A = this chain, B = another copy of it.
Amino acid sequence: MANSASGESIIGRVVKIVSAFDDRHPAMSVAELGRRTGLPVTTTYRLVNDLLLERLLEREPGGDIHIGTRMWELASRGSKMLGLREAALPFMEDVQAVVQHSTTLGILDSDEVLYIERLGSDRTIVDITKIAGRLPVHATSSGLVLLAHSPAAYQDAFLARPLTKFTETTLTEPAALRRHLAEIRQRGFAAMPGVIVPESSGIAVPVFGPDNTIRAALSVVVPRNEENAPARVPVLMAAARGISRALGLARRAEGDAPAKPLKALFAVHR
């Protein structure tokens, strides 16, 4: 579906263009955009112009292009992300205030962890999570929690793929991972000695929705050598329950089906 020589559709090319921007490259010239996307020069200019007209991109005084306000607005307005984020934010603040290290909220998307909110702190050591950033599932505490509570079919499919070993401690063999996931379900949390950045380690707990399926993972990043890391867990769990409750209330307020009681929330399922 495309007029293009390369066989891409317009939409695909637009995605390419928008994808060229990230926190490291928030603005660039059209020519550079063309280079980064690999699109023909003329085509890049034409598409960028169309996107400028719709205000999905914006041109700044210098001539450089950056993602437009409209794009953010459209993406946010109808997104379910906002609901989850808004429900979670107050609880995340509480956690952040107590733990004093950065607190993140992540979801499972395209076999990766996508962080949708993050509260940093000055004390935060090394923490590579960014809002709208991605990290591998099997190498993060958030990812393991999300995976542990996902449907069996999904887990099987995930574990069937080869996994990259980031450090010595990264689990990559299906059997070992399965055992670890079971442990996570039993304990109710995942603790990961910094897999990507060795100095820090993460602790994550699951956040369930009104239908008792997993929605997100709430996690904190603490220094690795900290001895009382498990002491953080109760705070996280309490916060996670709070978020679940808030999600239920939000749904009920919309005149939706009444939320089920949260009794069996932390029960092991699968």
A residues whose Cβ falls under 8 Å from a Cβ of B: 1, 9-12, 14-15, 18-19, 21-23, 25-26, 50-51, 54-56, 66-67, 69-82, 86, 89, 93, 107, 109-110, 114, 116, 119-120, 131-134
Contact = CB atoms under 8 A, between A and B. Distances in A.
A75 B77 contact: no
Given A14-B11, A109-B69, A26 B76 contact: no
A80 B66 contact: yes
Given A76-B72, A79-B72, A56 B22 contact: no
A11 B54 contact: yes
Q: Which 6 A-B pairs have the closest CB atoms?
A: A21-B78, A75-B75, A76-B132, A67-B78, A77-B132, A71-B75
A14 B78 CA distance: 14
Contacts of A80: 26, 66-67
A79 B71 contact: yes
A11 B10 CA distance: 8
Contact of A15 (B1, B56, B77, B93): B56
